Structure 1
Amino acid sequence: MPATMPGFEPWRGVAERNSSEGRSDYAPRVRVERLIATCRVVLAICLFLAIWLDPSTRPAQHWGTTDVLLAAYGAYAVVLTMVAWLVRAPSVTFGLVTHAVDLALFSLFVYLTERPASPFYTYFIFAMVGATLRWQWRGALWTALVALVAFNAVGLYEAKITRDPGFELNRFVIRSAYLAVIASLLVFLGAHEQRRRREMHELAGWPRVMPQHPAAVVREVLERAAAILRAPRALVVWEDADEPWLQLASWSVRGEFHLEREPPGTFDPLVAAPLAEASFFSRDAGATAPSVLGVSSNGLEEWREAPLNPALQSRFAVHAVLCLCLRGECVAGRLLLLDRWELTADDLVLGEIVARQAAASLDHLLLSRRLSQAAATEERVRLSRDLHDGVLQSLTGAALKLETAQRMLETQPRAARQRLREIQRLIADEQRNLRFLIRDSKLPSRGAVEEASLDVRLHELVQRLEGVWDIRVEPRFELPDGAAGPLAYEICHVLQEAVVNAARHAGASRVRVDVREREGQLQIVVADNGSGFPFHGHYDHAALSALQLGPVILKERVDSLGGTLAIDSSPTGARLEIRLPSAATGA
Structure 2
Amino acid sequence: MDPTEIGYSHWAYWALGVYIVHGFVVMMLLRFRQQSTVAFRLLVHAADIVWPALISIFATGQHSPFFLFFVFVLAAAAYRWGLWETVGTAVAEISVLGLESLMVSHGFVQWADRFFLSHGIPPLGANVSFLEPKYLFMLSISLLVMGFLLGYLAEQQKRLRTEKEILAGILSGARSEAGMSATLQQILGDLLSIYGGHRALIASQEVNSYRVYLGEVRQSQQNTPLLSWLQASSSDHDVYLWDSPADACYAVRKHHTVEVLGLDREGLRLRNIPTSFLERLGKIYDFRTITIVAFALGHEWWGRIFLFDSVLAGDRLEQLRFLQELVRQVGPAVYNVYLIRRLRLRAGAVERARFARELHDGAVQSLIAVEMQVDVLRRQSASQTTPLTQELGRIQGLLREEVLTLRELMQQMKSLDVDAKRLLQFLTDTVERFQRETGITARFVSELEEIEMPQRVCRELARIVQEGLVNIRKHSGARQVLVRLGSLESGWKLTLEDDGHGFPFSGRLSHRELETMGKGPLVIRERVRLIEGELTIESTPGRGSLLEIRIPQKQEAAYG
Q: TM-score, normalised by structure 1?
A: 0.46
Per chain length, whose mean CA-contact separation is higher, i.e. which structure has more relative contact order (CA < 8 Å, sep 6+)?
Answer: 2
Richer in helix (by share): 1
Q: TM-score, normalised by structure 2?
A: 0.48
